[in-house]
Amino acid sequence: MREITYREAVREAMREEMRRDSAVFQLGEDIGVFGGSYKVTLGLVDEFGTERILDTPLAEAGIAGAAVGSALVGMRPVAEIMYIDFSTLASDMIINTAAKMRFMSGGTIKLPIVIRTQEGGGVSAGPQHSQCLEMMFAHVPGLIVVLPATPYDAKGLLKSAIREDNPVIFIEHKGMYASKGPVPEEEYLIPLGKADMKREGKDITVVALSRSVLFAMEAAERLAREGIEIEIIDPMTIKPLDRECIIQSVKKTGRLLIVHEACKMYGFGAEVAALVADEAIDYLDAPIKRIGALDVPIPFGMRLENFVLPNAGDIVEAARQLMA
């Protein structure tokens, strides 16, 4: 199977969906000739023109508002918010309007909106361009929240997101755009709301999110040489969450480690820990462990950034402690 980058997989998904459905269009800052801040949309304007690849002003609230308005009249907008940090400027339109209109209309209104954005550290982008804010959106009823970890997942999930009739927050990771992986040339979809077992194991369930999945895979190879076999669950969609997949894995392994790049306090790991405590606590042979970023703004300097953010070594150490 061919291998392409994460960036190319996202672009391919959008190109295929725009060819399939003339109602699909994109809007965002510098997504046209410039190709986006991370070159994800590069070349699309040459095929689809400026009416379907819309360069917008630097106005995130306006981008989200235009997406809502166009969706209400039958379009399927894919709106890019350059950094998830800037989504706070569009939060009123996303949280108070897009997430609630279908409910408030008794299901008579569809909101087929995809908000594409990226998050995370690792590239010295500084505290205002490196946050992981997925739980801000996951807390809001009416929004679907997706975080793909591989090129294969990114393409299949984005195609499903574009066809979804409810608003989807589609969160990529800036540190993975150049990473490569196998992606078939034939069309495929990955259903929203289903987790993926990235690696089977018998000793510890590791629930990892976004780029942390790659760190977990690296840690798994190191731990296997020590005789520790971790099972890696990638939720892919955190709202709705595939609860059953996580519970069944914990029942098998008896141990749980959750890894994400967002701050540990009030992060995704807290929700998964609560889920397992509610539904599978009798199956645990050790306390639940969580790994996340330190509770500080993300530093600009690479050394400090690496100190603040989780990595494969942190997963290895936590796994050893769980097996002790």
Inter-residue contact 208 to 199 (CB < 8 Å): no
CA proximity to 198, closest of 176, 186, 182, 214: 214
pLDDT tier at 247, thresholds 50, 70, 90: very high
Percent of the chain with pLDDT over 90: 99
Res 1 pLDDT > 90: no
Q: Is the peptide bond before 240 cis (omega within 30 degrees of 0)?
A: yes
- Catalytic residue flag (residue 129): yes
Q: What is the pLDDT of residues 33-78, one digit of tens each?
A: 999 999 999 999 999 999 999 999 999 999 999 999 999 999 999 9
pLDDT at 28 over 90: yes
pLDDT value at residue 106: 96
Q: What is the pLDDT of residues 70-113, one digit of tens each?
A: 999 999 999 999 999 999 999 999 999 999 999 999 999 999 99
Average pLDDT estimate for 196-215: 98
Rounded average pLDDT over 142-170: 98
Flag whether pLDDT at 251 surpasses 90. yes
pLDDT in tens, 14-27: 999 999 999 999 99
Nearest one of 66, 3, 14 to 40, comparing CA atoms: 14
State the DSSP H helix or E strand holding residue 104, giving kind and residue range, or none if neither: helix 101-104
Q: Which of 3, 2, 7 is nearest to 177 (CA)?
A: 7
For all residues of the chain together, what is the average pLDDT? 97
Residue indicated by tokens 């690296």: 218
Running DSSP on this structure, what letter comes out for residue 11?
Answer: H
Coil, helix or strand at residue 199: strand
As a whole number, mean pLDDT of residues 275-293 equals: 97
State the catalytic residue, choosing from 129, 139, 173, 260.
129
- For position 216, what pLDDT does the model report? 98
**Domains of the chain and CATH, by start:** 3-182 (3.40.50.970), 196-323 (3.40.50.920)
Mean pLDDT for 235-253 is 98
Check: CB of residue 148 under 8 Å from CB of residue 96: no
